[in-house]
Each structure stands twice: as structure tokens, then as C-alpha cells.
């Protein structure tokens, strides 16, 4: 079977693209190598999705998958290893090859983890990546932010208005974020900046409640009682396998504008794997809709 559209990635962007493509009566196959729903499945509580006062990331993902299946899309759990260009595209996976007229790449970006024992186990159980999403859960509590760049400083500034205490932990001896952000942070009386330190260990039965950091110069170890840790040490876009059909920027993101087009006709990109300033569920869904409509127009013109 030759599908009209194959979508690589089943996060909010990919699943929204599938929904829009099926509504346009296109045959659709969605491929996903990990958890259907993407990074949002790690969020224990989400309150910034239009139409829902509150729900878990898993609940939102389940609703999206159910909706897409109800519309008649096919879903295949597999890893895509290559996309071969042509009038008919060939999508190569670890379970075989599939053909289609258009491809939407919506593989997202993984948050870079600190690399200490058990870090993945604490995601959603004390480790967060988004202060906009999860900051309200730490009102009047103690949190730490790992990182010293712009993203980390922005997270810390936002959290300082909610939490009673914010630690900023940077492995270098200085912060690397913009001077204006550093100045704003220095004005916050409840923020303590610890430079020249790395995360050594995480502690807590089920829920994170303490971290150990190590001073790089001396090896001294310090324990900090915290309620949450916000990790802001970068993202890893999942675009390596698609460099032949995508233009990638210096950070590995698909170099595409808001139109979600790529350098390859019939290949579109959506969501966090695309170069963009704001990475939120709402913007991922918007990308999915835009990419799907563009793909539908492409297929109709063939």
C-alpha cells in the first residue's frame, strides 16, 4: 500500500497532523519508536492546554491517540532509520519499508538529562523541564534549576516569583546567560546561585526530595533539600536520520520557518524538532495542523 502521508513521530505535533490529514480524507500512517504522546507523557499535571482545566500528560496523549484512531489513521510502533526521496517516498524502519506520497517529520526533541543515576526515574516525580508548565506546583516550595544559560536563567526568574527558594546550579564558574537575565536574577532575594558545581546524586523514595552537588575545584559535596529540580541543560533534536531530506541548523534542528516546509518537496516538519523560539504543546499542535494542510495540498497536486 502507498499511503498519502506518513507521519514520523506521535507527539502532539504528529498526532495533530494525523487528525488534520484524515479530516482531509488522506490515508495516514503514524510511526513512533517510543511512547505515543511524546514528552508530555512525563508531565503529571497539565493546566495550559485549551479546553482542559487539568489533566495528566498521559491522559492528554491517550485522548489524542484515541481521536486519531477514531478518524481512521493507522499506527505503527517502529523506529524510522531513513527516508528515501522520490516522487514516491520510501520510509525505512526497523520493521520494514513503507511507501507514501508525502512525509511529515515530527520527531520532537529530547531534554538532555544530567546523567546521574536514576535521573530518568524522577521525570515527573520531582524532575521537570518547563517552569511555565510545572512551576505552579512548587508555589512556596524549594526548587533548584540545573544550568546557567538563557533557558536556565529564564526558568529561575519565573520560579522565583512562585517558589520560596530557588537554587541555580551551574557547572562552570560563571553563568553563560545574557547579562540582562543575570542582572534580573541577582535582584531576586530568594535565589542562590551556585557556580562551579555539578549534580552528583538524586535522593528520594519515589519522589525527589534532596540532591547532592559536588564542587568541581575541591570535590566538596553539598546536600540540598528541595521539592523539585528543573533541568535546563539543552535539548537534543531527533533529526539525525533525516539529514538527507532536511536542512539542519548548527544545533541539529530542522531549519524550517512557520510554513513547516523543508528543502525536499513532499517532506514537511512539525513540532519541537523544528527551529523555533517557543516549544509548547499549543505550538506543536499548530505546527501539526500547518504541516498536514501543506502535505495535503502537495498530495492533491501530484
**Residues carrying an active site annotation:** 130, 133-134
H or E stretch including 259?
A: none
Q: Return all residues near 25 (Cβ < 8 A) that are at least 6 apart.
A: none
Strands (E), 106-209: 109-111, 127-128, 142-146, 165-169, 191-194, 197-203
Strands (E), the chain: 2-8, 28-32, 74-77, 80-84, 89-93, 96-105, 109-111, 127-128, 142-146, 165-169, 191-194, 197-203, 210-215, 221-225, 228-231, 235-237, 267-269
| CA distance to 117, 150, 163, per residue, from 157 (Å) | 28, 11, 10
Q: Is 3 helix (H, G, I), strand (E, B) or coil?
A: strand
CA–CA gap between residue 115 and residue 2 (Å, rounded)? 42
CA–CA gap between residue 136 and residue 134 (Å, rounded)? 6
| Distance spanning both ends of the chain, measured CA to CA | 17
Alpha-carbon dihedral 17, 6, 79, 64, rounded to 10 degrees: 30
Q: Return all residues near 142 (Cβ < 8 A) that are at least 6 apart.
A: 163, 164, 165, 166, 167, 225, 226, 227
- The sign of the dihedral angle between the CA atoms of 186, 189, 193, 194 is positive
Amino acid at each position: 500500500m502507498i499511503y498519502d502521508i506518513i507521519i514520523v513521530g506521535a507527539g502532539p505535533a504528529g498526532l495533530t497532523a494525523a487528525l488534520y490529514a484524515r479530516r482531509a480524507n488522506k490515508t495516514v500512517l503514524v510511526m513512533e519508536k517510543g511512547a505515543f504522546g511524546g514528552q508530555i507523557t512525563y508531565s503529571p499535571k497539565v493546566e495550559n492546554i485549551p479546553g482542559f482545566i487539568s489533566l495528566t500528560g498521559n491522559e492528554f496523549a491517550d485522548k489524542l491517540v484515541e481521536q486519531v484512531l477514531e478518524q481512521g489513521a493507522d499506527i505503527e510502533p517502529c523506529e524510522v532509520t531513513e527516508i528515501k526521496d522520490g516522487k514516491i517516498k520510501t520510509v525505512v524502519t526497523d520493521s520494514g519499508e513503507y511507501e507514501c506520497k508525502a512525509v511529515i517529520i515530527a520527531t520532537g526533541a529530547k531534554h538532555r538529562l544530567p546523567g546521574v543515576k536514576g535521573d530518568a526515574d524522577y521525570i515527573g516525580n520531582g524532575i521537570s523541564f518547563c517552569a511555565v508548565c510545572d512551576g505552579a506546583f512548587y508555589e512556596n516550595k524549594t526548587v533548584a534549576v540545573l544550568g546557567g544559560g538563557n533557558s536556565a536563567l529564564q526558568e529561575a526568574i519565573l520560579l522565583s516569583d512562585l517558589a520560596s527558594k530557588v537554587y541555580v546550579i551551574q557547572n562552570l564558574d560563571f553563568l553563560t546567560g545574557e547579562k540582562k537575565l543575570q542582572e534580573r536574577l541577582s535582584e531576586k532575594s530568594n535565589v542562590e546561585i551556585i557556580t562551579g558545581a555539578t549534580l552528583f546524586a538524586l535522593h528520594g523514595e519515589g519522589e525527589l526530595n534532596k540532591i547532592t552537588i559536588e564542587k568541581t575545584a575541591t570535590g566538596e559535596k553539598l546536600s540540598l533539600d528541595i521539592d523539585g529540580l528543573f533541568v535546563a541543560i539543552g535539548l537534543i533534536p531527533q533529526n539525525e536520520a533525516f539529514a538527507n531530506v532536511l536542512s539542519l541548523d548548527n544545533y541539529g534542528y530542522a531549519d524550517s520557518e512557520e510554513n513547516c516546509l523543508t528543502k525536499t518537496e513532499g517532506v514537511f516538519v512539525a513540532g519541537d524538532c523544528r527551529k523555533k523560539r517557543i516549544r509548547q504543546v499549543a505550538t506543536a499542535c499548530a505546527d501539526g495542523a500547518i504541516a498536514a494542510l501543506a502535505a495535503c495540498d502537495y498530495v492533491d497536486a501530484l
